[in-house]
Amino acid sequence: MAYVSQCFSLRWLTPAVLCWLALAACAPAGADPQVGAPAPIFTGTDTTGAQVSLADFKGKVVVLEWTNHDCPFVRKHYGSGNMQALQQEATEAGVVWLSIISSAPGKQGHVDAATADELTRSRGAHPSHVLLDSSGTIGRLYGAKTTPHMYVIDPEGRLVYMGGMDDIPSARVDDIPKAHNYVRAALAELQAGKPISQPVSRPYGCSVKY
């Protein structure tokens, strides 16, 4: 309730109407998305310049992957081929995979469209689209905190998983075979019509460079 008291204190400094106008600035920016609730709808620009909306994929499973090619945790998953293998498995099964770059200009991981496409090509990655979110709008909408930070959305548009790629929060490639991959498990359970056994986990990696 601290934000309320801060707003109310403005009444003693300015006309009351200014306090009520200030409520939006004082209030929290918005809650993170909730598993089981509709996933927040967004529209972003991909590396071809096309507008891509989450609403376009109603009826399909969607994976959101926050990424930063300079982050050692991202390099762990891409350098080993782990991320690309899961992308290929998923997209071949009809899943839409959106890799999202929310690094701001001048910050680690920020790239232009041509560089993003070259990263996709050189790493043998298999996203459906790479979205350039340099304003951080989509990242903040989802409360994306790390790279990678993973989300799975079901065909009805509900968020069914959010969190880390797996259960070993390290940048070591040799931990990958020992780890339980939460995203792969969630996709398999969705395909089998089963409830998601681990719908939320703690994400790990580098902070998103807003």
pLDDT of residue 32: 78
Per-residue pLDDT of the chain (210 residues; tens, 9 = 90+): 333 333 323 332 333 323 323 323 323 344 579 999 999 999 999 999 999 999 999 999 999 999 999 999 999 999 999 999 999 999 999 999 999 999 999 999 999 999 999 999 999 999 999 999 999 999 999 999 999 999 999 999 999 999 999 999 999 999 999 999 999 999 999 999 999 999 999 999 999 999
Domain ranges of the chain: 1-30, 32-207
Contact, 87 vs 183, CB < 8 A? no
Architecture of domain 32-207: 3-Layer(aba) Sandwich (3.40)
3-state secondary structure of 162: strand
The pTM score is 0.85
pLDDT of residue 30: 43
pLDDT of residue 31: 53
Q: How far is CA 176 from CA 63, 89, 114, 117, 169, in A?
A: 20, 17, 30, 26, 10
Upper half-sphere CA count for residue 202 (Cβ side, 13 Å)? 5
